Each structure stands twice: as C-alpha cells, then as structure tokens.
C-alpha cells in the first residue's frame, strides 16, 4: 500500500499553533504601540513651531501633535523643546 501524499497531521497541528502564537503577539504588540504613541505625543517641555525656536540648552524633538499641557489636544507647533540634562 502506498502512503497518502500531502500534509501530515503533525504539520497541520504545528501550523495551527504557530498561527495562534502570531495572533497573540499581534494583539499584545498592537496594544503596546498605542501607549508608545501616546508617550511620544506628550511633551515634558514646551511646544514650538520650529526647531530654531528652542533655546541653546534645549533639544528640539519632532512631534506630530505636540501636547505640552497634558490635555490631549495639540498645543501648536511640531517640535518639543526638552531641557538637556
């Protein structure tokens, strides 16, 4: 008798486990990315319109929606001037 050609049961089980692990990783990472983005948008310094508006002792950091008062709304400008420490 010839053995049937095709995917074995072991291959199907391993593929299913890999798929489950990938789905779990995607869910975990997508949740973390949201909090990472929120941390990037907040500014511990001051929001300004250009990098040249920062003082010499401040580092300009480009931020799409700069929020320096923590209210969740953009406060104007795309640069956050952070004090160098």
pLDDT in tens, 56-70: 899 898 888 888 777
**3-7, 9-13, 36-40, 50-54: lowest mean pLDDT where?**
36-40
What digits encode the pLDDT tens for the residues 14-46?
A: 999 999 999 988 887 776 555 555 555 567 788
Confidence band, pLDDT 50/70/90 cuts, at residue 5: low
Distances (CA, A) of 50 to 31, 38, 61, 75: 31, 21, 10, 13
pLDDT at residue 13, rounded to an integer: 92
Contact 63, 41 (CB under 8 A): yes
How far, in Å, CA of 79 to CA of 41, rounded?
10
């Amino acid at each position: 008798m010839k053995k049937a050609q095709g995917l074995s049961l072991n291959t199907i089980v391993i593929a299913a486990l890999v798929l489950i692990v990938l789905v779990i990783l995607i869910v975990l990472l997508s949740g973390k990315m949201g909090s990472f983005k929120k941390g990037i948008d907040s500014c511990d310094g001051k929001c300004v319109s250009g990098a040249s508006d920062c003082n010499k002792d401040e580092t300009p950091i480009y931020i799409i929606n700069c929020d320096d008062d923590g209210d969740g709304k953009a406060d104007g400008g795309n640069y956050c001037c952070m004090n160098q420490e």
